[in-house]
Structure 1
């Protein structure tokens, strides 16, 4: 079984979480992506968020929220995605960049609009009282 290793940014405001939808995709994901060889979690977080949202992550403020696993969206071979999530302060205003077609502030009511692993994250955040 294949495990896809991803790093994601948790940005919550007023009980909603920032979600990103890539061009050609039908669900929202948490902003972030796959690690490149030799990168740490925070290297990946900073690079991916800059590429996708055109903001700068303040890595010194990063806090690990949790690591979550579920079936990978849209993969027929039963691959699993493991996403390690961090909160962190940032500089700039998030805007769609690179592969990102759309950004949206999502609440727990939008759970059916995100990938399976992000549903697990939504459940955790909602249970913790962070996601409305």
Structure 2
């Protein structure tokens, strides 16, 4: 039986347009910062909490813009499906890994993608970002 986890995550971009990825301790795959929603939390509240726990990051009011809802298999949990609310924001300053994070990586989404990206990121979010960038380029 598959379990569904409801998560909230963020596409955080630096001034060069690179996407921030994180890898949690004792895991292989890189993913967007964020995490599971607690009972009674909405997606935005969960994401704000997770960003502070993982990166000690607090963004100003209105900084996180809704990007979309996506589904994919979980990278690090067997027989688990993710229902993800994804947001976007510019990263206002450098961050360091905290809490359960082992490593940060900056991804240039225009370059070859590494093999160690979580399915949600590789199969859903990055293609949606590419479509958005393509639309912006034609406007």
Native 8 Å contact 2:72 2:120 kept in 1: yes
Residue in 1 that maps onto 2:41: 39
* Residue 115 in structure 1 maps to residue 118 in structure 2: yes
Q: Please, which runs of 5 or more residues in structure 1 have no aligned partner? A: none
Q: How does 1:1-132 map to 2 (within 5 A)?
A: 1-13=2-14, 14-77=16-79, 79-88=80-89, 92-108=93-109, 109-119=112-122, 120-129=124-133
**CA separation of 1:16/1:88 partners in 2, compared to 1, >3 Å: closer, same or farther?**
closer
- Could you tell me how far 1:23 is from its partner in structure 2? 0.7
Pick closer, same or farther for the CA change 1:92–1:128 going to 2, 3 Å. closer
8 Å Cα contact 2:4/2:83 also seen in 1: yes
Q: How many residues align?
A: 129
* CA distance in structure 2 between the partners assigned to 1:12 and 1:115 by the alignment: 18
Q: Which runs of 5+ in 2 are unaligned?
A: 135-139
Could you say if the C-alpha distance between residues 122 and 25 of structure 1 is closer, same or farther in structure 2, counting changes exceeding 3 Å? same
Larger of the two Rg values belongs to structure:
2
Q: Where does structure 1 differ by over 4 angstroms across 4 or more consecutive aligned residues? A: 89-92
Alpha-carbon distance in structure 2 between the residues aligned to 1:58 and 1:42: 13
Q: Give the distance between the partners of 1:85 and 1:100, measured in 2 at CA.
A: 19
What is the TM-score normalised by the length of structure 1? 0.86
